[in-house]
Structure 1
Amino acid sequence: MSLPSDPLPPVLAISGPTAAGKSGLAMALCERLAGRAEIVSVDSAQIYRGMDIGSAKPDAEARARVPHHLLDILDPAEPYSAARFAADAAEVIEAIRGRGRVPVLVGGTLLYFRALFDGLSELPSADPALRAELEDERARIGPDAQHARLAAVDPVTAARLHPNDAQRVQRALEIQLLSGRPASQWHADPKPQGRVPGRLLRFAVQPPPKALFDQRIAARFSQMVSAGLIDEVSTLRARGDLHLDLPSMRAVGYRQVWQHLDGAFSRAEAIRRGVIATRQYAKRQMTWLRGEGERWRWIDPAEPSALDAVLSAAGS
């Protein structure tokens, strides 16, 4: 396949729900491009050092075959934002294109994709004192009551958030309390320009039918445990400077194993809860992608023609 003679190589984005086969498709694509592509991770857990097994981070062999970017760039104690990702990714994409290669963005953190492609609203900055108050309130009145509080001031945002999504429920309340405006109004404001010039091609990986996908998620999580996920979380927990309120430790799988190590429940229960949380996360990802309409082209990685479809679009 020959790439078009555009001044800039295209940017290929591959997303989809967790465990749907994004990474495998991206690796196969890069190998078909024979040294003319590099991968940019779009994953809010893979950015952290020491979070390898639970984030399904590409191993050393995969990184030796294809250059990878935005892996292991932060310590788990450090905060990171979608806006910072957009800036970091834009810099990496420019460098890859400068080498005459194709950036292949792969991952499931859809807010990162949105920040990079569409820009983000200029929201009020976080207020640590107010955030602590909201966390205390949640512990006192419970997630359902706090979610109801959000629904009273911002029904649009509350309708799309589950009561158990503590981070986003509290952030929406924080925005409303700091600014006097609902978060939904902030998000509706005109946004700055995205950071990806030139051709952008987006592909969403279609998972298998639900029953088979549920089995795949369960098998994948059990495989992570067998590969040492509990030891990985134990090492992070033993540092003493990490805790469950950090964004890194809110990642699916890490939170459930951490709670098991705290004695909250058994290993078997941690696995059960981790599988459930992964399925819920995959469902949210699917809802987000479907809400994007035709901006993403759905492909089935099990189809022999899937790679050809991506390469054909890139070369058209």
Structure 2
Amino acid sequence: MQTELHIQPTHSLDRPPVLCIVGPTGAGKTHLAMTLAEHAKSIGHTVELISMDSALVYRGLDIGSAKPTKAEQAAVQHHLIDILEPTESYSAARFANDAKRLCEEIRHRGHIPVVVGGTMLYWRAWAYGLSSLPPADPIIRARLDGQGKVIGWPAMHSELAKVDPITAARLQPNDSQRVQRALEVYEITGKAMSELLAESPSEDGREGSAIPEWINLISLEPSDRSRLHQNLERRFDEMLVGGLLEEVELLRKNPGLHGDLPAIRSVGYRQVWEYLSGEVDHAEMRYKALAATRQLGKRQLTWLRAIAGRKTFDPFNPDELKAAIEYCKQSLSK
């Protein structure tokens, strides 16, 4: 059986750990990273940012992905942004390889790599590897997609619960991408995804896993969930005013794009795509997009809280945000 490439990161004791800034969507990761980069410049260092975000890799997905602005990208070198067409796919294993390579290249230039983002499957692949899971099978995946469209993803979730109740219990019934992947893994291997991950617990990166010594993990975790939700609601409305509908309408003109592609499944894009297809009205589109965004943030926090040894700061607390900035600044001099 083929498996995804297992990546063994290298670490040299004469170099500081790679700083990685994570947190749920809307927590202020980009702001912290840009603040750190500006400070580094003021003391004669150069920071280069490596995006750990599954939506930012796609060209044309700008507004709905909260992609760093052109000005921000001009001020600080960003990597793994706009590297693929939305018709293409990107994997966690590929990210792990890319991030590892970029860290080495950035350090070779005498600069400082900082990884920033909230795609936690990418984090797991980069930090621990993914040797236990098989690569995607396009034939099986297409068939599962077809089944999902016919009977609905809650019904597919029920099928998953029969063969892998542990994985099913942590997935939302409508989380088509993850339900599909778990069913695909079971069909390819004959084993539940939870069983495969349990066979290599050091690679799972979920249940109390320690952070590898070559990573310094900074986690922005808002304590006020209602305030985070309000911020996310305001941000999505600003995206709508800022041209999100027009952005997706332009994407829809590409004959190679459809609603089952990973790019279009991204939170926000999927719901707007459904609206422009006439499947839902504007109010339902907005409701579903906000619900999906909140669910994403909840999943991200669940991942983060299971990682032992992370440095945690509340970005909504001014003192803690200041402490996070100072901590990151100090890491530059180590």
Tell me by how many angstroms 1:233 deviates. 0.6
Which residue of structure 2 lines up, in the alignment, with residue 24 of structure 1?
Answer: 31
Q: Is residue 292 of structure 2 the alignment partner of residue 277 of structure 1? A: yes
- The aligned runs of 1:144-223 (5 Å cut-off) are 144-190=154-200, 199-223=214-238
SS in 2 for 1:202: strand
- What letter corresponds to residue 31 of structure 1 in structure 2? E
Deviation by residue 1:237-287 (Cα, 9 ceiling, x = unmatched): 111110111001000000011111011222233222211111111111111
1:297 to 279, 287, 311: 311
Please list every run of 5 or more consecutive structure 2 residues that lacks an aligned counterpart in the other structure.
Answer: 1-11, 206-210
More displaced 10-residue stretch of structure 1: 77-86 or 153-162:
153-162
Deviation by residue 1:24-79 (Cα, 9 ceiling, x = unmatched): 01100111111421110000000000111111111111112111111100000011
User: 2:204, 2:113 → 1: CA distance?
Assistant: 20
Which residue of structure 2 lines up, in the alignment, with residue 226 of structure 1?
Answer: 241
- What letter corresponds to residue 327 of structure 2 in structure 1? A
Which residue of structure 2 lines up, in the alignment, with residue 309 of structure 1?
Answer: 327
- What letter corresponds to residue 297 of structure 1 in structure 2? K
Conserved 8 A contact 1:205-1:300: yes
More displaced 10-residue stretch of structure 1: 259-268 or 110-119:
259-268
- What letter corresponds to residue 209 of structure 1 in structure 2? D
User: 1:132, 1:117 → 2: CA distance?
Assistant: 30
Tell me by how many angstroms 1:306 deviates. 2.1
Which residue of structure 1 lines up, in the alignment, with residue 259 of structure 2?
Answer: 244
2:148 to 138, 142, 145: 138
Which residue of structure 1 lines up, in the alignment, with residue 19 of structure 2?
Answer: 12
Tell me by how many angstroms 1:192 deviates. 7.3
More displaced 10-residue stretch of structure 1: 108-117 or 206-215:
206-215
User: 2:284, 2:275 → 1: CA distance?
Assistant: 8
SS in 1 for 2:264: helix
Change over 3 Å in CA distance of 1:297–1:197 after alignment to 2: closer
Conserved 8 A contact 2:19-2:215: yes
- What letter corresponds to residue 171 of structure 1 in structure 2? R
Q: Is residue 74 of structure 2 the alignment partner of residue 64 of structure 1? A: yes
Q: CA RMSD in A?
A: 2.2
Overall identity of the aligned pairs, in %: 48
Deviation by residue 1:104-159 (Cα, 9 ceiling, x = unmatched): 11111011111111111242332222222222222333323221211111111111
SS in 1 for 2:157: helix
- What letter corresponds to residue 307 of structure 1 in structure 2? I
More displaced 10-residue stretch of structure 1: 68-77 or 271-280:
271-280
- What letter corresponds to residue 8 of structure 1 in structure 2? R
- What letter corresponds to residue 325 of structure 2 in structure 1? L
- The aligned runs of 1:62-101 (5 Å cut-off) are 62-101=72-111
Deviation by residue 1:198-235 (Cα, 9 ceiling, x = unmatched): 73200111225122111100000011111111111111
Change over 3 Å in CA distance of 1:207–1:178 after alignment to 2: same
Normalising by structure 1, we get a TM-score of 0.92
Please list every run of 5 or more consecutive structure 1 residues that lacks an aligned counterpart in the other structure.
Answer: none
Tell me by how many angstroms 1:12 deviates. 0.5
Conserved 8 A contact 1:45-1:55: yes
Tell me by how many angstroms 1:166 deviates. 1.0
Q: Is residue 89 of structure 2 the alignment partner of residue 113 of structure 1? A: no
Conserved 8 A contact 2:124-2:204: no
Tell me by how many angstroms 1:9 deviates. 4.2
SS in 2 for 1:232: helix
SS in 2 for 1:295: coil
- The aligned runs of 1:15-54 (5 Å cut-off) are 15-34=22-41, 35-54=45-64
Conserved 8 A contact 1:89-1:116: yes
User: 1:74, 1:197 → 2: CA distance?
Assistant: 29
Conserved 8 A contact 1:253-1:274: yes
User: 1:219, 1:102 → 2: CA distance?
Assistant: 34
User: 1:118, 1:88 → 2: CA distance?
Assistant: 15
Change over 3 Å in CA distance of 1:300–1:197 after alignment to 2: closer
